[in-house]
Amino acid sequence: MFGYVSINPQALSEDEKHRFRAFYCGLCRVLREAYGDVGRLTLSNDMTFLTLLLAALYEPEEKAFDERCALHPLKPHHAVTHDCTRYAADMNILLAYYKCLDDAEDDGSLRGKAGQAALKKAFAQARTAWPDQCKAVEESLSALSQLEKTKSTDLDALSRLSGHTLGACFVWRQDAFAPYLREMGDALGRFIYLMDAYEDYDTDEKRHRFNPLRALRAQSDYEERMEEILTLEMSRCARAFECLPIQQDAGLIRNVLYSGVWGSYARLREKRKEKQA
Protein backbone atom coordinates (compact mmCIF):
# COMPACT_ATOMS: atom_id res chain seq x y z
CA MET A 1 0.00 0.00 0.00
CA PHE A 2 2.94 2.32 0.62
CA GLY A 3 6.20 3.01 -1.15
CA TYR A 4 5.49 3.94 -4.76
CA VAL A 5 4.53 7.60 -4.42
CA SER A 6 7.68 9.69 -4.53
CA ILE A 7 9.38 12.61 -6.22
CA ASN A 8 11.91 12.43 -9.03
CA PRO A 9 14.65 14.57 -7.42
CA GLN A 10 16.67 14.83 -10.62
CA ALA A 11 13.88 16.81 -12.25
CA LEU A 12 13.38 19.24 -9.34
CA SER A 13 15.12 22.40 -8.25
CA GLU A 14 16.71 22.55 -4.81
CA ASP A 15 13.87 24.76 -3.61
CA GLU A 16 11.29 22.22 -4.76
CA LYS A 17 13.11 19.36 -3.06
CA HIS A 18 13.27 21.36 0.18
CA ARG A 19 9.59 22.18 -0.20
CA PHE A 20 8.58 18.51 -0.41
CA ARG A 21 10.88 17.71 2.51
CA ALA A 22 9.20 20.45 4.56
CA PHE A 23 5.81 18.83 3.99
CA TYR A 24 7.30 15.43 4.93
CA CYS A 25 8.74 16.85 8.16
CA GLY A 26 5.48 18.67 8.86
CA LEU A 27 3.52 15.44 8.58
CA CYS A 28 6.06 13.75 10.86
CA ARG A 29 5.61 16.54 13.41
CA VAL A 30 1.82 16.22 13.41
CA LEU A 31 1.95 12.41 13.64
CA ARG A 32 4.22 12.72 16.67
CA GLU A 33 2.03 15.37 18.33
CA ALA A 34 -1.20 13.46 17.71
CA TYR A 35 -0.07 9.86 18.16
CA GLY A 36 3.38 9.84 19.74
CA ASP A 37 6.39 7.98 18.42
CA VAL A 38 4.28 5.07 17.15
CA GLY A 39 2.49 7.50 14.85
CA ARG A 40 5.73 8.90 13.52
CA LEU A 41 6.88 5.39 12.56
CA THR A 42 4.02 5.19 10.02
CA LEU A 43 5.21 8.29 8.13
CA SER A 44 4.97 7.88 4.35
CA ASN A 45 5.56 9.76 1.13
CA ASP A 46 2.05 8.77 0.06
CA MET A 47 0.35 10.91 2.69
CA THR A 48 2.99 13.61 2.32
CA PHE A 49 1.77 13.86 -1.26
CA LEU A 50 -1.83 14.05 -0.06
CA THR A 51 -0.89 16.92 2.27
CA LEU A 52 0.82 18.71 -0.61
CA LEU A 53 -2.18 18.18 -2.89
CA LEU A 54 -4.82 19.32 -0.41
CA ALA A 55 -2.78 22.36 0.66
CA ALA A 56 -2.33 23.38 -2.97
CA LEU A 57 -6.05 23.03 -3.66
CA TYR A 58 -7.55 24.60 -0.53
CA GLU A 59 -4.68 26.95 0.35
CA PRO A 60 -5.15 26.87 4.15
CA GLU A 61 -2.95 29.03 6.35
CA GLU A 62 0.59 27.69 6.34
CA LYS A 63 2.60 27.31 9.52
CA ALA A 64 6.36 27.04 9.11
CA PHE A 65 8.92 25.83 11.65
CA ASP A 66 12.68 25.47 11.84
CA GLU A 67 13.38 22.77 14.38
CA ARG A 68 15.47 19.84 15.47
CA CYS A 69 14.02 16.44 16.27
CA ALA A 70 15.13 13.08 17.65
CA LEU A 71 15.85 11.82 14.14
CA HIS A 72 17.83 14.94 13.16
CA PRO A 73 19.17 16.39 16.41
CA LEU A 74 22.19 18.28 15.07
CA LYS A 75 20.91 20.24 12.09
CA PRO A 76 17.70 22.31 12.14
CA HIS A 77 15.26 21.46 9.37
CA HIS A 78 12.27 23.24 7.90
CA ALA A 79 8.76 21.90 8.45
CA VAL A 80 5.41 23.09 7.10
CA THR A 81 1.96 22.23 8.43
CA HIS A 82 -1.63 23.20 7.57
CA ASP A 83 -5.09 22.19 8.77
CA CYS A 84 -5.03 19.42 6.15
CA THR A 85 -1.82 17.98 7.62
CA ARG A 86 -3.77 16.53 10.55
CA TYR A 87 -6.23 14.96 8.13
CA ALA A 88 -3.40 13.35 6.18
CA ALA A 89 -1.89 12.13 9.47
CA ASP A 90 -5.19 10.47 10.39
CA MET A 91 -5.41 8.81 6.97
CA ASN A 92 -1.79 7.68 7.37
CA ILE A 93 -2.74 5.94 10.61
CA LEU A 94 -5.78 4.27 9.06
CA LEU A 95 -3.84 2.93 6.08
CA ALA A 96 -0.86 1.83 8.19
CA TYR A 97 -3.17 -0.07 10.55
CA TYR A 98 -4.91 -1.88 7.71
CA LYS A 99 -1.54 -2.67 6.13
CA CYS A 100 -0.46 -4.34 9.38
CA LEU A 101 -3.80 -6.17 9.57
CA ASP A 102 -3.38 -7.43 6.00
CA ASP A 103 0.17 -8.62 6.69
CA ALA A 104 -0.95 -10.44 9.82
CA GLU A 105 -3.88 -12.16 8.08
CA ASP A 106 -1.97 -13.06 4.90
CA ASP A 107 0.91 -15.02 6.37
CA GLY A 108 0.76 -14.57 10.14
CA SER A 109 3.45 -11.90 10.04
CA LEU A 110 4.72 -11.16 13.53
CA ARG A 111 5.64 -7.68 12.38
CA GLY A 112 2.10 -7.16 11.14
CA LYS A 113 0.62 -8.37 14.43
CA ALA A 114 2.97 -6.17 16.44
CA GLY A 115 2.16 -3.16 14.29
CA GLN A 116 -1.56 -3.79 14.59
CA ALA A 117 -1.31 -3.94 18.38
CA ALA A 118 0.87 -0.83 18.56
CA LEU A 119 -1.50 1.18 16.36
CA LYS A 120 -4.75 0.00 17.97
CA LYS A 121 -5.29 3.12 20.10
CA ALA A 122 -4.23 5.53 17.35
CA PHE A 123 -6.48 3.72 14.86
CA ALA A 124 -9.50 4.03 17.17
CA GLN A 125 -8.83 7.76 17.50
CA ALA A 126 -8.56 8.32 13.74
CA ARG A 127 -11.59 6.13 13.10
CA THR A 128 -13.70 8.21 15.46
CA ALA A 129 -12.60 11.41 13.72
CA TRP A 130 -13.32 10.16 10.19
CA PRO A 131 -16.00 7.41 10.31
CA ASP A 132 -17.08 7.76 6.66
CA GLN A 133 -13.57 7.31 5.30
CA CYS A 134 -12.93 4.42 7.63
CA LYS A 135 -16.17 2.68 6.67
CA ALA A 136 -15.39 3.05 2.96
CA VAL A 137 -11.88 1.66 3.44
CA GLU A 138 -13.12 -1.26 5.55
CA GLU A 139 -15.82 -2.22 3.04
CA SER A 140 -13.44 -2.07 0.08
CA LEU A 141 -10.70 -4.04 1.81
CA SER A 142 -13.20 -6.65 3.03
CA ALA A 143 -14.53 -7.18 -0.50
CA LEU A 144 -10.97 -7.28 -1.84
CA SER A 145 -9.98 -9.88 0.74
CA GLN A 146 -12.90 -12.10 -0.28
CA LEU A 147 -11.90 -11.93 -3.94
CA GLU A 148 -8.27 -12.70 -3.13
CA LYS A 149 -9.27 -15.69 -1.01
CA THR A 150 -11.09 -17.15 -4.01
CA LYS A 151 -7.97 -16.50 -6.14
CA SER A 152 -10.00 -14.33 -8.49
CA THR A 153 -8.54 -13.64 -11.93
CA ASP A 154 -10.65 -10.48 -12.35
CA LEU A 155 -7.76 -8.02 -12.27
CA ASP A 156 -10.03 -5.04 -12.91
CA ALA A 157 -12.28 -5.84 -9.93
CA LEU A 158 -9.31 -6.48 -7.65
CA SER A 159 -7.49 -3.28 -8.52
CA ARG A 160 -10.72 -1.26 -8.46
CA LEU A 161 -11.48 -2.29 -4.87
CA SER A 162 -7.97 -1.49 -3.80
CA GLY A 163 -8.25 1.87 -5.52
CA HIS A 164 -11.40 2.71 -3.58
CA THR A 165 -9.41 2.65 -0.33
CA LEU A 166 -7.14 5.49 -1.39
CA GLY A 167 -9.97 7.25 -3.18
CA ALA A 168 -11.90 7.50 0.08
CA CYS A 169 -8.84 8.90 1.86
CA PHE A 170 -8.28 11.62 -0.75
CA VAL A 171 -11.66 13.27 -0.03
CA TRP A 172 -11.13 15.73 2.82
CA ARG A 173 -14.31 17.72 2.27
CA GLN A 174 -17.59 16.94 0.51
CA ASP A 175 -17.53 19.75 -2.04
CA ALA A 176 -17.20 20.35 -5.78
CA PHE A 177 -13.60 19.12 -5.75
CA ALA A 178 -14.43 15.79 -4.09
CA PRO A 179 -15.17 13.79 -7.30
CA TYR A 180 -11.83 14.77 -8.83
CA LEU A 181 -9.90 14.01 -5.64
CA ARG A 182 -11.66 10.67 -5.34
CA GLU A 183 -10.80 9.79 -8.94
CA MET A 184 -7.18 10.75 -8.32
CA GLY A 185 -7.04 8.52 -5.26
CA ASP A 186 -8.86 5.67 -6.99
CA ALA A 187 -6.49 5.67 -9.96
CA LEU A 188 -3.38 6.08 -7.82
CA GLY A 189 -4.59 3.29 -5.54
CA ARG A 190 -5.08 0.97 -8.51
CA PHE A 191 -1.60 1.84 -9.74
CA ILE A 192 -0.10 1.07 -6.31
CA TYR A 193 -1.95 -2.26 -6.06
CA LEU A 194 -0.71 -3.34 -9.48
CA MET A 195 2.83 -2.16 -8.78
CA ASP A 196 2.87 -4.06 -5.49
CA ALA A 197 1.74 -7.22 -7.28
CA TYR A 198 4.31 -6.63 -10.04
CA GLU A 199 7.16 -6.26 -7.55
CA ASP A 200 6.10 -9.18 -5.34
CA TYR A 201 5.29 -11.69 -8.06
CA ASP A 202 8.37 -13.90 -7.79
CA THR A 203 8.28 -13.91 -3.99
CA ASP A 204 4.56 -14.74 -3.98
CA GLU A 205 5.19 -17.67 -6.33
CA LYS A 206 7.96 -19.06 -4.14
CA ARG A 207 5.77 -18.79 -1.03
CA HIS A 208 2.64 -20.09 -2.82
CA ARG A 209 0.75 -16.88 -2.13
CA PHE A 210 -1.99 -15.34 -4.24
CA ASN A 211 -0.91 -12.77 -6.81
CA PRO A 212 -3.49 -11.02 -9.01
CA LEU A 213 -1.11 -10.96 -11.99
CA ARG A 214 -0.74 -14.73 -12.36
CA ALA A 215 -3.03 -15.03 -15.39
CA LEU A 216 -1.53 -11.97 -17.06
CA ARG A 217 2.01 -13.17 -16.37
CA ALA A 218 1.34 -16.31 -18.42
CA GLN A 219 0.84 -14.23 -21.56
CA SER A 220 3.72 -13.66 -23.96
CA ASP A 221 3.20 -9.89 -24.00
CA TYR A 222 3.06 -9.61 -20.20
CA GLU A 223 5.57 -6.78 -19.83
CA GLU A 224 3.97 -4.70 -22.57
CA ARG A 225 0.47 -5.25 -21.16
CA MET A 226 1.64 -4.37 -17.68
CA GLU A 227 3.13 -1.10 -18.81
CA GLU A 228 -0.04 -0.24 -20.73
CA ILE A 229 -2.24 -0.89 -17.69
CA LEU A 230 -0.04 1.13 -15.35
CA THR A 231 0.11 3.99 -17.85
CA LEU A 232 -3.68 3.97 -18.17
CA GLU A 233 -4.14 4.26 -14.41
CA MET A 234 -1.71 7.14 -14.04
CA SER A 235 -3.29 8.86 -17.06
CA ARG A 236 -6.62 8.74 -15.23
CA CYS A 237 -5.02 10.15 -12.11
CA ALA A 238 -3.28 12.96 -13.99
CA ARG A 239 -6.43 13.80 -15.96
CA ALA A 240 -8.41 14.25 -12.73
CA PHE A 241 -5.63 16.40 -11.28
CA GLU A 242 -5.59 18.68 -14.31
CA CYS A 243 -9.29 19.41 -13.73
CA LEU A 244 -8.48 21.01 -10.36
CA PRO A 245 -7.71 24.76 -10.13
CA ILE A 246 -4.24 24.29 -8.64
CA GLN A 247 -1.36 26.69 -9.11
CA GLN A 248 0.51 26.45 -5.81
CA ASP A 249 3.17 23.71 -5.97
CA ALA A 250 1.65 22.49 -9.25
CA GLY A 251 5.07 21.67 -10.70
CA LEU A 252 5.99 19.62 -7.65
CA ILE A 253 2.72 17.69 -7.80
CA ARG A 254 3.18 17.02 -11.51
CA ASN A 255 6.68 15.77 -10.80
CA VAL A 256 5.20 13.06 -8.59
CA LEU A 257 2.37 12.13 -10.97
CA TYR A 258 4.26 12.19 -14.25
CA SER A 259 7.69 11.05 -13.12
CA GLY A 260 8.17 10.16 -9.46
CA VAL A 261 5.69 7.28 -9.29
CA TRP A 262 7.51 5.55 -12.15
CA GLY A 263 10.83 5.31 -10.31
CA SER A 264 10.20 1.90 -8.75
CA TYR A 265 8.81 0.51 -11.99
CA ALA A 266 11.88 1.63 -13.94
CA ARG A 267 14.22 0.03 -11.39
CA LEU A 268 12.29 -3.25 -11.45
CA ARG A 269 12.28 -3.40 -15.25
CA GLU A 270 16.01 -2.78 -15.32
CA LYS A 271 16.67 -5.58 -12.82
CA ARG A 272 14.60 -8.02 -14.84
CA LYS A 273 16.39 -7.10 -18.03
CA GLU A 274 19.73 -7.72 -16.29
CA LYS A 275 18.59 -11.17 -15.14
CA GLN A 276 17.46 -12.08 -18.63
CA ALA A 277 20.73 -10.89 -20.21
Query: pTM for the complete prediction?
Result: 0.93
Task: Identify the pLDDT of residue 116.
Answer: 84
259 CB-side CA count, 13 A: 11
Task: Identify the pLDDT of residue 71.
Answer: 64
Task: Identify the pLDDT of residue 31.
Answer: 95
Sketch the domain layout of the chain as residue ranges: 130-277
Task: Identify the pLDDT of residue 1.
Answer: 57
Task: Identify the pLDDT of residue 268.
Answer: 86
Is the Cβ–Cβ distance between 185 and 151 less than 8 Å? Answer: no
Dist CA 80 CA 217 (whole Å) = 43
Task: Identify the pLDDT of residue 70.
Answer: 66
How confident is the prediction along the chain (277 residues), in pLDDT tens digits per residue? Answer: 567 899 999 999 999 999 999 999 999 999 999 999 898 888 999 999 999 999 999 999 999 988 777 666 667 788 999 999 999 999 999 999 988 887 777 666 677 788 888 899 999 999 999 999 999 999 999 999 999 999 998 999 999 999 999 999 999 999 999 999 999 999 999 999 999 999 999 999 998 889 999 999 999 999 999 999 999 999 999 999 999 999 999 999 999 999 999 998 888 888 877 776 5
**What does each C-alpha distance from 122 to 42, 103, 109, 263 come to in angstroms?**
11, 18, 20, 31
Task: Identify the pLDDT of residue 17.
Answer: 95
